[in-house]
Amino acid sequence: MVSSHSIQGSWRGRYFYPGNSEAHGFEAVFIDVDGIVEGNILDDGKLGEAAVGGKFFYPHLKFIKTYQGGHLHAVHYQGTMSEDGKTLMGRWQIPGNISGTWTAKRYEDGEDLKFEREDDRELELVGEKRHEIAPAHASGS
C-alpha cells in the first residue's frame, strides 16, 4: 500500500554540520517493503554515493548511510515525516565523532526547494512559500 505516509520515492535535501551554516545537498531514493527501507543517497561534492538501510514506521525513520568503498564512517540518521508526507527532518551522527541536522523534501518535477535556517539546532523547510528574510548565504545549486 502506497500512501502519503510512504517513504518510497525520490527526495532532495540538505544536511548541516554544527556551527556551520553552509548546507550540503543530497539526493535520495528510498524503497520501502513493509517498513524495511533500502536505497541510495548521492551527496553533492566529493563524498559521493552511499547505500542506505533502515526502518520506517510513520512518522519515524531510522537508517544508516554507508559510503561506497567503505573509506568513510557510516552515518546514522533519525528523523520524522511531516503529516502531509512531503517533508523529512531530523538529526544525523557519526557515533563518537560528530552530529548535525538534516531535512529533505519529496522531489516532484518542477518544484523549487527553499530552506531556511531557524536557529543553530533546528531547520525548517520553507517549500514554495516566500518569507521576507535575509539569506544566510547565497546558494548556487
Q: Which fold has domain 9-125?
A: Lipocalin (2.40.128)
C-alpha distances in Å from residue 31, one per residue of 37, 38, 73 = 6, 5, 23
User: 4: pLDDT confidence band, cut at 50, 70 and 90?
Assistant: low
User: 27: pLDDT confidence band, cut at 50, 70 and 90?
Assistant: very high
Structural domain spans, the chain: 9-125
Taking residues 13-38, report their average pLDDT: 94
Residue 136, pLDDT above cutoff 80: no
| pLDDT at res. 72 | 84
User: 24: pLDDT confidence band, cut at 50, 70 and 90?
Assistant: very high
pTM comes to: 0.73
| pLDDT at res. 116 | 44
- Quick: pLDDT tens for 85-128: 999 999 999 999 999 999 999 987 545 545 444 433 344 333 33
Count Cβ neighbours within 10 Å for each residue of 13-40 and write b for 16 or more, e otherwise. Answer: bbbbeeeeeebbbbbbebebeeeebebe
Separation of alpha carbons 51 and 67, rounded Å: 6
SS3 of residue 4 by DSSP: coil
DSSP letter at 14? E
Angle, vertex CA 48, rays to CA 45 and CA 50, nearest 5? 145
- Quick: pLDDT tens for 47-78: 889 999 999 999 999 999 999 887 789 999 99
SS3 of residue 139 by DSSP: coil
| pLDDT at res. 122 | 40
Separation of alpha carbons 9 and 31, rounded Å: 7
Q: Which three cell numbers stand for residue 18?
A: 554544527
